[in-house]
Amino acid sequence: MQGTWPAFPSPFRPGFSVFPSPVSRLSSPVTRILGIDPGSQRTGVGIIDVDATGKTTHVFHAPLNLLSGDTGPEGGFPARLKRLLQGLSEIIDRHRPDEVAIEQVFMARNPDSALKLGQARGAALCAAVMRDLPIHEYAAKEIKLALVGKGGADKVQVQRMVGVMLNLKGKLQADAADALAVAITHAHVRATARKLGVNTREAWSRK
């Protein structure tokens, strides 16, 4: 799919292109899910459509590079948060997702890194809650278990499975692949929840 459809510029990296799907919505009623893999240097974004049966279709994916222009008066960590909030807001307004799935923060060994990651995640959440979008959170192990079948799967395995499930060709950028992975996880959990007549957390606990 990449390389064959018109691309539009990323809001963060001049010359870097991101590729939307040629199909904006499926013919049957669908829910559009925005997946977010928060990061203090790059935040992965992935959007899919899911129908009532749980079938998923790729819509969009891209890594948001928060380090662009990280020098001079516009640089520094606060500027990264601003780029994250603005860039994610633009993507939400363009693609109009119905729900958001975001990866939970893991405990980093470096306290400073953990703090920055938490702040980046907070900025991403703000972009969603300001538009009244429902948010669903998944731990990294839950996402790996849902896609690969084991919580200890590595990033390469996750990237490969995302590509297979969404029929994407070529190597996926790691942050964008993780964002698509959390979106797929939520798509599967919400489909199970609909069948069981329970909420998504209850559906996950019964897997």
Active site residues: 37, 103, 175
Helix (H) or strand (E) holding 163: helix 155-166
Q: Which residues in 52-65 are b (16+ Cβ under 10 Å) and which e?
A: eeeebbbbbbbbbb
Three-state secondary structure call for residue 27: coil
**196 vs 56, 166, 205, CA distance in Å?**
19, 25, 12
Q: What is the 3-state secondary structure of 34-77?
A: EEEECCCCEEEEEEEEEECCCCEEEEEEEEEECCCCCCHHHCCH
In whole angstroms, what is the distance from residue 134 CA to residue 132 CA? Answer: 7
